[in-house]
Amino acid sequence: MGRVIARRLLQAIPILIGLSVLMFAWVRALPGGPAEALVRADASAAEVEAVRESLGLNRPIWIQYLAYLKQVVQFDFGTSLMSRQPVRAEMIDRFPASIELAVSAMIFALVIGVPLGYYAARRYGSALDHLFVASSLIGITIPVFFMAYLLKFVFAVQLGWLPTTGRSNARVESDHPTGFYVLDGLLTGNLGASWDAIQHLILPAIALGTIPLAIIVRMTRATVLDVMNEDYVRTAEAKGLTKFRISSRHVMRNALIPLVTIVGLQLGLLMSGTVLTETVFSFPGVGSFVAGALFARDYPTIQGFVVVIAVMYIIVNLVVDIAYAYIDPRVRAS
């Protein structure tokens, strides 16, 4: 197992270097530049040139790249042009928000999707099964932003049950030792703050979790159906085991194997889905910030976040592989 992990980590190095070169070249190929983005609207060309010079943008590009690489290995991603905060501080601030949102969306998708998928498989061919399959197909096809607007309009604007924007109520005082607001409330004994954070998470999490939910329903249904037709399940039934024991020990454990891969991949995809959800709900996470950075040509932010998100993808995939090996002994043996 150790060798597998080490090999995967070594494989990640050339991927990251290649990615950093691509990012660096691509961002600089965009029209306009950081100096133009930094000055006021009516600045003169001479003022822009002065800023270019201060920023070192007139140096050869490879020197700029090496300087950038040197900073990156020290986890210094520069300062955001938009917010003028260090990009690292923005990351520390915003990643917990998006991770909290993505995890909430995944919990929503799993808690509802797995039982529904299982139920549909057990009632294979019934009207309910057909309804679930058709609904999940529609679920996959609804764009995230549409779902987000719909939920916001109905449950926040019209019914007024949940907040429309942000991550917490501005009037609620709270401390954030970890940046994960729900957890922070629990850690600091401020249950009101935790509840407030949960209220702010519900609609974005549902909007973001819709597609994974639909996929998980279909995936669970398909794998449960496969597993139920396996010989060992028939054997277990013939042995007279209880239904619960058969489904928990023989069916679900085996059905979970492909599901773990899907959850891992979906978690990665959810991070990109946060762009739209966070924008609709003005949720201060990574997605909305990077989207803003792209429009503002905020080079340091774009570069920094892309590198870190790539690292996260690699880690998530690694974790999925390990989890896969843990659940499926055949993978370990190979």
Whole-number minimum distance, CB 81 to other proteins, in Å?
5
| CB within 8 Å of 3: residues ≥ 6 apart | none
Nearest to 266 by CA among 207, 209, 314: 209
Whole-number minimum distance, CB 259 to other proteins, in Å?
18
**Gap between the Cα atoms of 226 and 224, Å rounded:** 5
200-219: which residues touch other proteins (CB under 8 A)? 202-203, 206, 210, 213-214, 217
Rule CB under 8 A: choose which of 12, 20, 68, 309 binds other proteins: 68
DSSP structure class, residue 173: -
Distances (CA, A) of 6 to 11, 12, 13, 20, 174: 9, 10, 11, 22, 41
166-195: which residues touch other proteins (CB under 8 A)? 166-172, 176, 192, 195
Question: How many chain residues touch other proteins (CB under 8 A)?
Answer: 96
**Gap between the Cα atoms of 84 and 4, Å rounded:** 41
Nearer to other proteins, 53 or 230 (CB): 53
269-328: which residues touch other proteins (CB under 8 A)? 279-282, 284, 288-289, 292, 295-297, 299-300
28-57: which residues touch other proteins (CB under 8 A)? 31-34, 36-45, 47-48, 50-51, 54-57
Asked if residue 225 binds other proteins (CB under 8 A), the reply is no
| CB within 8 Å of 271: residues ≥ 6 apart | 98, 102, 286, 287, 309, 312
Query: Helix H segments across 123-143?
Result: 127-141
Whole-number minimum distance, CB 329 to other proteins, in Å?
34
Binding mask 69-108 for other proteins (x = CB under 8 A): --x----xxxxxxxxxxx--xx--xx-------------x
- Compute CA 216 distance to the chain's CA centroid, rounded to the nearest angstrom: 16
